[in-house]
Structure 1
């Protein structure tokens, strides 16, 4: 169906990206201990990276719908082909970037190569109807980790378990087979009219209901201690059980709905977060390099003074860069490289009238 006109960027999505990045900062260098830290930072384990993946899925959909003016299942072949090339080129940049950052041997498990593999997998779903995107997301959430556990012995026997980047399909952390659930859900959410208040309310309400249902299932199963060893019902971060992933999706829906609303009603106040979110990749890479330079102590002996310093420095840098330059440095690389490749392969005539979509 035709889409209503949208601004070049959806401010609330940048706010959500900023929260995802600062949440990952908290998971890596924040102190959530009950003795000398902020216990509430425990919410940063698992949820921010899942939010990051959902937002990536939304961005993929917006890249296509902005150029085509219709949802992906109705988009003309030229628009689909152009966007596929753009997404594929971004994937081919993210994958080696992720490996390079991993070679720095910080205590952080870098998500970028896994995300790049997910981008490549998403290419087949561009023309799926929204309901099939949701079906695919549900299948990955419900069965993804079971599939990873089932296939691991076979790929080990075949000698391809550690073959890059194939390994990212079944890796211990962020396995693409499972995490496609987040990306496909984001692609489906991107089909919604995100600037409408009723959509924002729907996302927020769905998130609250989802979190309540997950908490109810956990309580019926005997609580967190009882479910921690369950392959299906564990809610511990990064276990990738169906229940944990459902909770992460619900949390992402709630955050996205709230941030979309805040981006409209409190834009001046949210502007520093919008600036940070508009260059989420740059800030993510920068914080990995920072940890490599400073040393592992910033992770293993974390303090919230350091965490706040990193967050405030990131906001200050992003705000100044956005004001003076606009697009983040690594975001500019992705945008220019992917657009140039798509123009060369598919043709410049199919270029969208709005070349900078939200997160594009």
Structure 2
């Protein structure tokens, strides 16, 4: 569809016409950056009723990143015109970036802070590698695969995890390469049991690839908004039907009562707990777990719901960015430096929030306050600082430092290995 609309249009004119749409993607990525800061540094919603609304960002920010990563993969491999040469060169650039992201993620895992941030970059690298066999597909095929994967992936994960022993849950790191058990844990976590496992997170990337293949210049924001609304309704509405009308909620609460009764948990407490979310997967003791839509649960309903939210955010920004680019400038700047800001905020947490000393559990020191603990102070420091730094940086440079490095290394290797033929 997009290819026929661009016949005879000079490439420079196409790029100029696409600029507001590209800025809209950066703005969406900026929203994801701020949402990530809320989740990582804001008041702990589990202990503050006043901050319970912050749970809205859990799962949605990381999924928005993944959808936008899929759009980037499509653009790198030809956008709405994935010719053989563009796809071949794009595949190498994507593969190089994937390897660099995996290495960076493994390295950043060693920056430990008092906030247990789960680092996504190693997973991202694997997502990129998994897209390589699919780069020649058109938007319709990618959307269909994403739809099927969103249903089949969680079911396959459930069936496999029923038959394997509990695995390591933490950040993939270099020290896991030291033993066979470490390598096994690394593979299982990245693919199956981690917070962002490939088996249940690829639908986000595939949905983004489908959007990018339609053509960022020609896609209609209203169509993106409509698709997002349908998916969000299917995710949250379908889960509500299964949980409330078909009895799934009551079944899960009844199953949890024996485990938590001794701690004084009421049915209302257990009901609230089911809405908080998990760490990438759900329990395998009942099929009803696959009907919840809680953040990071990795169920079909969760995948549909957060993909819909990502498309809604993207559609709104595609609609308003051409008219409100100046107002959105800090957000656009943050989005264009998303990887750099991600690294910087991890370094800031490592420096500002020390790891508590758990060696003497009877004499634990008091919890730190202010910028040395999750809360409004730390969130304001990180969020406002990121927006200001990104805006100042973009006044001088086109890309963030980490983005520039990925671009230069991947482009340099590609130019030497696969010279352009068109």
Q: TM-score, normalised by structure 2?
A: 0.75
Counterpart of 1:133 (choices 136, 142, 148) is 142
Distance 1:38 1:155, change over 3 A: closer
> In 1, Cα distance between the equivalents of 2:70 and 2:28?
13
More deviation in 217-226 or 277-286?
Answer: 217-226
Aligned to 1:16: 28
Q: 1:350 Cα deviation (Å)?
A: 4.4
Q: 1:165 Cα deviation (Å)?
A: 5.6
Counterpart of 2:405 (choices 296, 308, 333) is 333
Distance 1:252 1:46, change over 3 A: same
> Which secondary structure state, in structure 1, belongs to the residue aligned with residue 43 of structure 2?
coil
Q: 1:305 Cα deviation (Å)?
A: 2.6
Distance 1:306 1:127, change over 3 A: same
Aligned to 2:230: 209
Q: TM-score, normalised by structure 1?
A: 0.87
Aligned to 2:209: 187
Aligned to 1:52: 65
Q: Kindly report which structure 2 residues correspond to 1:180-329, keeping only aligned pairs within 5 A, or say none.
A: 180-196=202-218, 199-223=220-244, 226=250, 228=274, 230-295=288-353, 301-329=373-401
More deviation in 133-142 or 212-221?
Answer: 212-221
> In 2, Cα distance between the equivalents of 1:18 and 1:292?
22
Q: 1:300 Cα deviation (Å)?
A: 9.6
Counterpart of 2:76 (choices 63, 82, 92) is 63
Structure having the higher Rg = 2
> Which secondary structure state, in structure 2, belongs to the residue aligned with residue 231 of structure 1?
helix
> Which secondary structure state, in structure 2, belongs to the residue aligned with residue 326 of structure 1?
coil
More deviation in 251-260 or 284-293?
Answer: 284-293
Partners of 1:200 and 1:260 within 8 A in 2: yes
Q: 1:166 Cα deviation (Å)?
A: 6.8
> Which secondary structure state, in structure 1, belongs to the residue aligned with residue 395 of structure 2?
helix
Residue-by-residue CA offset, 1:210-242 (whole Å, 9 max, x unaligned):
223333223323459557473321111111000
> In 2, Cα distance between the equivalents of 1:147 and 1:325?
45
Structure 1 runs not aligned, ≥5 long: 352-360
> In 1, Cα distance between the equivalents of 2:165 and 2:149?
19
Counterpart of 2:103 (choices 67, 83, 96) is 96
Q: RMSD in angstroms over aligned alpha carbons? A: 2.7
> In 1, Cα distance between the equivalents of 2:70 and 2:188?
20
> In 1, Cα distance between the equivalents of 2:182 and 2:352?
35
Residue-by-residue CA offset, 1:46-93 (whole Å, 9 max, x unaligned):
010001000000011011225xxx533xx12x2211111100000010
Number of equivalenced pairs: 343
Aligned to 2:197: 175
Structure 2 runs not aligned, ≥5 long: 7-13, 168-179, 253-273, 275-282, 356-367
> Which secondary structure state, in structure 2, belongs to the residue aligned with residue 65 of structure 1?
coil
Counterpart of 2:157 (choices 144, 148, 151) is 148
Q: Which has the higher contact order (CA 8 A, sep 6+)?
A: 1
Partners of 1:195 and 1:260 within 8 A in 2: no
Distance 1:213 1:146, change over 3 A: closer
